[in-house]
Amino acid sequence: MTDYDYDLFVIGAGSGGVRAARTAAATGARVAIAEDRYLGGTCVNVGCVPKKLYSYAAHFHEAFTESAGFGWQLPQPAEFDWATLRDNKIEEIKRLNGIYGRLLEGADVRLINGRARVIDAHNVEVVGETISAAKILVAVGGWPWTPDFPGKEHALNSNDVFDLETFPKRFLVLGGGYIAVEFASIFNGLGSDSHLVYRGELFLRGFDHEIREFTRNEMEKKGVNLHFETNIESVEKQSDDSLKVTLTNGETLEVDALLSATGRRPHLQGLGLDKLDIELNPDGTLKVNDRFETSIPSILALGDVTGAPELTPVALAEAMHMTRVHFADEKLPTMDYNNIATAVFCHPNIGTVGLSEEAARAEFGAIRVYTADFRPMKHTLSGSDERCLMKLIVDDANDRVVGAHMVGEDAGELIQGIAIAVRAKLTKADFDATVGIHPTGAEEFVTMRTPTRC
């Protein structure tokens, strides 16, 4: 590799790109990385980190109300200051950006601030400099996409929504994926009159159907206005800067902000890959093999840009796998994407790992389903009517737990531990033999004895 300026040139300093750069450098490789926007990528700057901070903020409204049942007397109504949340978030992101910069510097990775363009199999151009590399890694992630409708220019995307100048008292989200569901919950919790518009009959397609229905019911109880089987026909800006949104079912909504959360597409514009005829998947993502090589073997890709599950831990795992294969010469099996746990930070949260009931029935035929639907102990005094749902899917042939799902407070925190059990292929008998922690909601996962249905 000594004939090149670098052994690895990474395009994109998001979670996957930074991890790949650092781990490759740790093997002795000479590494450079280019980033034209911000260190840490989507997750740190306009994704999971600020979203989780805003989700925390949105829970306080309920916490203040529910505390009365436990003897706390607080001034009512509590006041929320959007600017404080927004500006404190900005400072935290700056801190994290600095950490990423120091990590790269400490790993002796050269950071170049600019959008790199691939010239050929071994050369890139960035800020006027042509650089050669034995391997080029594309880790640029995705970019928000907004469908076409009259007035679409008035819609925000998920890059914009965190830094609004003023707090929207009336808020509308278009979409049915996890980003849409999360932001509908967050702005509802912060005090907006929150609406979600989705063309399908129920949001969170691909998740377990019972979980989807339960989440819909809980969100409606909390005051989120759900509009299913309809879409946006047009948006008109009014003289007071509000937005008049006309739906395809004839309904009209007046809102202060509209968020389009209709998905992300690979951020490939301007990279020059189209001129190299690199093979794409049908959805426009880069096609890679089990070594993360594109149709030009010296050009690698990982993360959201390849169509992998759009999760930060997946990009991190891919980066480490790629480094071990290409820079440590390890012979590894193909990366396993089964049983990857995930969470949706709507209110209440969703945590899930493994197969949905529908997928398990299609794959195994004979299954057992165990559910626990209950009012958490906390709410016996809080006055809230929020409920929790826990669910296990078991392959009847071998008793193995093939899916675990939860809707409830801190579901993401709880499902992480359950994910280890599912990935380890533990059986329902293993769950039953585990002594629960009392009193917790989590103990329900090891005390469900009678199948709800088969």
Rounded CA separation 398/430 (Å): 12
Q: What distances in angstroms separate CA 66 from CA 4, 59, 61, 78, 222, one per listed residue?
A: 63, 11, 9, 13, 13
b/e code 81-95 from CB counts within 10 Å (16+ = b): eeeebbeebeeebee
Query: 46: which 2 tokens?
Result: 């306009």
Q: State phi, psi for 307 to the nearest 5 degrees.
A: 85, 10
Annotated catalytic residue within 61, 227, 379, 438: 438
Give the total residue count for the chain: 454
Rounded CA separation 96/118 (Å): 28
175: left (phi over 0), alpha (psi -120 to 50) or beta: left
Residue 251 CA from chain centroid, whole number: 31
Q: Is 267 a catalytic residue?
A: no
Q: 49, 93 in Cβ contact below 8 A?
A: yes
Query: 296: which 2 tokens?
Result: 């030009």
Residues forming the active site? 438
